[in-house]
Structure 1
């Protein structure tokens, strides 16, 4: 008798958890419709817009680098400086940056070579010299693969209202051809967007550092950018520092348009695995919650639960669950895209199924292989997110 009570209790808990995940779908879609793709206000202001220092860490050249960087030179914003950061003086990205600086001499831009050694995080090491020479009160950190619209910076700054210390963009991708590009867009427009939007709605930390704007005083009060060099997931701890200092964070209405010229499934799955390792190290309870939130896993558990609680047939429930989840993700992606998708419904079905079936595998792979490979370096994480390098970089 007591064993049956435990079974029923577990089934009730699973059913409540399942309903909560469906609610997250609804909240993500609704909040995305309200929050995203709002035109920035161009009305006259009582005070001038604050100037912005934009840090651009670069390494290597991909086919889209030049056109991505050029969008930073053509933004419609009254006052900003571009600070390009390149660790290796022989990096071919140096030539690309210098060409653009010559092409747009009216835009204030500087190139910082050599980086620094303030921790294990290569990105922080690369950016720190530029940060220490940044002139303005607002600092933007923007990865090399980001493409900007003319009003993107204006949109982000206008979200930097009183009490806000960090404005970041929800990750998404530009329209590109091929299955890998479809896979990336589906991931960022469904699973990632749902998590990002609901976290922002409830004020939780869900910050990726690929495109973010922060008040410099927040960083300076904790010792500067170099204080985050001990972490690989510097974006999470940067957002945490903002929260602990009493500031709020928010996402802007425009997503971050990733436009890398190198797009293949294997490399993207390696990124997903690396991110999973970082999440688990920083928020250990995700070891249980994250795989249980996957469509196929959650559907199996919920089907068993409703069979125990309501004597419903498990298989029809499971199939209806997949259909509802699939349609919710299609709506979510359409909201984030805010326009026609660059692929047809068949390609969406294939990409969606591939994402849903490989998601749990990638997460388990992250758990059983905790070492993190980042470019030519390998790192190990302590619980809490502090990292150390396992093997020194081999210099040619």
Structure 2
């Protein structure tokens, strides 16, 4: 009986300490986000040499925003860069979009690579491999098809590439779009994702996502090129992990990555979140315990029980105050990341925030009990350590 009581108190202390730590993370994210994000971009003097950047753009299919997204890469205010478009299928409709933009902007150095290589299980690495082999500049920028760039975004990323920095990446965020799904996406990326991303960057912990990443090509070459990471689906995580092991730093730029995919619905976004959760579980198994506890509703319930046991506080009142303050912190953080007025009102935020917070633990449970991943028209099975195997390899006609 005494052992059971000690165990209960032990769990209560753990939950309450973890709850306090989560509030510390909130404060770090808010203050670090205010300090780090949306800084004025300093242009280099006209007589100073610009480091060249080879931009790899893997594409598959089209969507209503593809043309406008890609066009932002042709209009960047940066002197030395090349665009390397990578398309696996010669019948892909994105090819026509690319050639039309090349005709419109003939002065931008551009190459199109059709047909990928087979250097691993990762379709993105296979698609980019030929373009990577032909890249001419010292820096490689891997940028997903749904990313939009401002005129000074590439300059901002290059400015953060210090002498000991090997990777500069953009924190994921979204463009302003209409509809509940767009609100849901913006709330997720501007609160839960941004909180962990900003805290990890401030503590120099690997938080790298590969949707918009600037890397030193010389380091990649020392590691064997991007094909070295073709055995992983989460190649971005392992690239950053290897860079860090080699003594290089990673850093986020001041401008977030503005995702602007033309496909925006709740089901596909939740499938995306579940896929990411599966990858995290196999790469960093300790998230099985820690990630659910980082969710507002879960840690709030655990801390309310702990406070009632340790301090005799009213658990329901504690829980409601916890949710209210968490909600306010997320509103502040989202406003900092947005750097302007939000494209929805407070009621829409309340509904979207509650939906995100309540569905998060459910999606994580789904991820734990299924180690298979569907990525576009392919299926993979994950193994511990992050390696993947294609279940039904694609057959080319």
1:346 and 1:385 map into 2 onto residues whose CA distance is 40
1:221-280: CA deviation from partner (whole Å, max 9, x where unpaired):
010011111000000001011101110000000000000111000000000000000000
* 1:166 alignment partner, SS class: strand
1:232 and 1:369 map into 2 onto residues whose CA distance is 16
Q: Name the residue aligned to 1:258.
A: 259
1:128-139 equivalences under 5 Å are: 128-139=129-140
Q: How far off is 1:369 after superposition? A: 1.4
1:266 and 1:62 map into 2 onto residues whose CA distance is 17
Q: 1:225 to 1:96 in 2, by over 3 A?
A: same
Q: How far off is 1:43 after superposition? A: 5.1
Q: Name the residue aligned to 1:4.
A: 5
Q: Name the residue aligned to 1:105.
A: 106
1:374 and 1:384 map into 2 onto residues whose CA distance is 19
Q: How far off is 1:39 after superposition? A: 1.1
Q: Name the residue aligned to 1:311.
A: 312
1:334-361: CA deviation from partner (whole Å, max 9, x where unpaired):
0000000000000000000000010000
Q: What is the TM-score when the length of structure 1 is the normalising length?
A: 0.99
1:296-335 equivalences under 5 Å are: 296-335=297-336
2:118 and 2:149 map into 1 onto residues whose CA distance is 30
Q: Name the residue aligned to 1:202.
A: 203
* 1:12 alignment partner, SS class: helix
1:60 and 1:236 map into 2 onto residues whose CA distance is 25
Unaligned runs of 5+ in 2: none
Q: Name the residue aligned to 2:223.
A: 222
Q: How far off is 1:5 after superposition? A: 2.2
Unaligned runs of 5+ in 1: none
Q: How far off is 1:7 after superposition? A: 1.7
1:64 and 1:236 map into 2 onto residues whose CA distance is 27
Q: What is the TM-score when the length of structure 2 is the normalising length?
A: 0.98
Q: How many residues align?
A: 396
1:365-385: CA deviation from partner (whole Å, max 9, x where unpaired):
001111001011110111000
1:394 and 1:376 map into 2 onto residues whose CA distance is 11
* 1:190 alignment partner, SS class: helix
Q: Name the residue aligned to 2:360.
A: 359
1:62 and 1:186 map into 2 onto residues whose CA distance is 23
Q: How far off is 1:46 after superposition? A: 7.4
